[in-house]
Amino acid sequence: MPTEAGLESVMRGWPPPVLDPAGPYSEPVTLLAWALLIGGTLILLVVLAALGIALWGGGALRRRLGGDRAIWLGGVAFPVVVLTALLIWGLSLTSHLQATAPRGDEMRVRVTGEMWWWRVAYLDAGGRAIFNDANELHIPAGQPVLLELDSADVIHSFWVPQLAGKMDMIPGRRNLLRIQADKPGTYGGQCAEYCGGPHALMGFVVIAHTPESFAQWRAARLAPPKPAGGRGAELFLSSGCAACHAIRGTAANGLVGPDLSHVGSRRTLGAGILPNNRGTLAGWIADSQTIKPGNRMPDYKQFSPEELNAVAAYLESLK
Ligand code: CUA
């Protein structure tokens, strides 16, 4: 088992901080949130003061508050001016957040919401998938990345609060969202639309790299995983795992569940809910219904402890 410190570093970015923007597509959202919160609080205080005067104030004050002038100023002019200004400011502040089409040769990734995980496909300039992954997104820091958001089943919502506002994933529709991390780091995300059973356990991780480290990561991903054979690989293929999961370079080509080609290099398991190591891999295989009740992977209780360890070791080796 990892140490406390190890666990902490693996799960860094979780739960995602919501008021700590880390890029140009989340900063306006946070600014707007603060303006609404502070402005709303000030207005609430004024209304409470007026209520206090109405209930307990002296005669002159109460008369003034109940007069035509106060009604026209406080009840008509003030809301019209404030709401109009807020609308114009809000629209101009967030106008660049709307992504409508790819720009130039920016990096594109398709993220598909599934019950209850995220399918990730890195795309070429023509929008075709180059390689697949799950529950984790690697991006270069300091540049925008265009996400194409889809759903395979019900409505989910993609939310990495430090990098962008929420965007729904709607079946039959493709929504675009730009994200950018100004600095390398790990940024947590979470499905933000109730999508049934384990919705709360539908987490996500974005890892922003320096340009050099991103290029290395990409080159490693373009290569198929190193062929690791042995007992674990045999058991994986003979026990039904390959009907749902794909591992590039092997006979496993199932498309139902997450692509496992490089599962050993992922930070988390079960869509952001567990640190990834041999112990949690074995626990997930044998007992995922206890860890994430209702998820679509059945418990694999038929493995002996030795077999379970062999399968977990095989998956762990897929870097
Ligand atoms: Cu997916 Cu909530």
- d(Cα 275, Cα 12) in Å, to the nearest integer? 10
Q: What's the pLDDT tens digit per position in 144-203?
A: 999 999 999 999 999 999 999 999 999 999 999 999 999 999 999 999 999 999 999 999
Count other C-beta atoms under 10 Å from residue 185's C-beta. Answer: 15
Report whether residue 118 contacts ligand 1, using a CB cutoff of 6 Å. no
Cβ distance 97 to 175 under 8 Å? no
Residue tagged 């860094």 (tokens): 12
Q: Which residue type does 41 have?
A: T
Query: How far is the centre of ligand 1, averaged over its atoms, from the C-alpha of 12 (Å)?
Result: 21
| Ramachandran category for residue 46: left, alpha or beta (phi over 0 → left; psi -120 to 50 → alpha) | alpha
Tell which atom from ligand 1 comes closest to the C-alpha of 115.
Answer: 1
Report how far residue 11's alpha carbon sits from residue 107's, in angstroms, rounded to the nearest whole number.
26
Share of the chain above pLDDT 70, in %: 95
Does 60 score more than 70 pLDDT? yes
In angstroms, the CA 133 to CA 155 distance is 21
Joined tokens for residue 298: 């059945």
Q: How many CB atoms lie within 10 A of CB 3?
A: 8
Q: Is the CB of 202 under 6 A from ligand 1?
A: yes
Question: pLDDT per residue over 196-255, tens digit each?
Answer: 999 999 999 999 999 999 999 999 888 877 766 789 999 999 999 999 999 988 899 999
Pick the range with the lowest mean pLDDT from 45-54, 60-69, 218-227: 218-227
Please state the atom number of ligand 1 nearest to the C-alpha of residue 156. Answer: 1
* CB-CB neighbours of 102 under 10 Å: 16
pLDDT grade, residue 12 (50/70/90)?
low
Cα(30)–Cα(225) distance, rounded to whole angstroms? 40
SS3 285: helix
Whether the Cβ atoms of residue 277 and residue 263 lie closer than 8 Å to each other: no
Tokens of residue 110, six digits: 């398709």
Tell which residue, 222, 198, 206, has the closest CA to residue 120.
Answer: 206
For 65-122, the pLDDT digits (tens) are 888 888 899 889 999 999 999 999 999 999 888 888 888 889 999 999 999 999 999 9
